[in-house]
Amino acid sequence: DRSQQPTDRAYRVVLAGDAAVGKSSFLLRLCKNEFIDNTKATLGVDFQMKTLVVDGEPTVLQLWDTAGQERFRSIAKSYFRRADGVLLLYDVTCERSFLNVREWVDMIEDVSQDDIPIMLVGNKCDLRPEAIQDGITCIPTSYGEKLAMTYSALFCETSAKDGSNIIEAVLHLAREVTKHT
Ligand code: GDP
């Protein structure tokens, strides 16, 4: 019943994924529409706020970055415990980050209250054509789609560099999160 939902509620969305897949860059693009190349982006804050109009309703998202804390599992876990939704990123030009998605999903499912919506995001898709030419093993779109399906997750490919699909990814997840909570 929509009328019973508090209107000032901020939904908590946590960014997950291996180091260097582009979590900080994703947030920077989403919240400030900027991109910094070859910089270890340290935003210096735990989260960013972003208001989106979801199905006609202004919806406030509190986006948590787990930057630099990939190795500190207990800290990461405390983020996921109270999450309403997860953006789980991998780098389409880094096979290892794709193979590690499973571990992230296991951890998220382990600590979160119930089946929270997950958006699987293949980031850095701007780099793929060049990487393939350089002989680097890249993750095709269909692999990402299939993996997402096995986890009943949403899926999209993005580029924090050129901005493609960033808003779409977040909107799609937000729609699912507001339906779910
Ligand atoms: P994090 O550790 O997951 O937060 O990753 P960062 O946001 O720090 O990004 C790691 C590196 O990848 C930085 O040098 C970024 O500039 C770069 N990067 C992030 N996203 C993209 C992208 O979509 N395309 C390209 N070409 N580079 C990206």
Q: Whose CA is nearest to atom 20 of ligand 1?
A: 22
Q: Is the CB of 77 under 6 A from ligand 1?
A: no
- Long-range pairs of 74-81 with CB within 8 A, sequence gap ≥ 24: 76/16, 76/107, 77/107, 77/111, 79/14, 80/14, 80/16, 80/107, 80/108, 80/111, 80/112, 81/111, 81/112, 81/113
| Alpha-carbon gap, residue 93 to 128, rounded angstroms | 6
117-175 pLDDT per residue, tens = 999 999 999 999 999 999 999 999 999 999 999 999 999 999 999 999 999 999 999 99
pLDDT value of position 44: 45
| DSSP label at residue 106 | H
Closest by alpha carbon to 122, among 30, 31, 26, 12? 26
Ligand 1 atom index nearest CA of 28: 7
| DSSP label at residue 71 | T
76-130 pLDDT per residue, tens = 778 888 899 999 999 999 999 999 999 999 989 998 877 899 999 999 999 999 9
pTM reported for the whole predicted model = 0.92
10-41 pLDDT per residue, tens = 999 999 999 899 998 999 999 988 887 765 55
Ligand 1 centroid to residue 142 C-alpha, Å:
22
Classify the C-alpha dihedral 70-165-95-126 as positive or negative: negative
Instruction: Give yes or no for residue 57 having a pLDDT over 50.
Output: yes
Q: Is 6 helix (H, G, I), strand (E, B) or coil?
A: coil
Distance of CA 114 to the CA centre of its chain: 18
pLDDT value of position 78: 80
Q: Is the CB of 93 under 6 A from ligand 1?
A: no
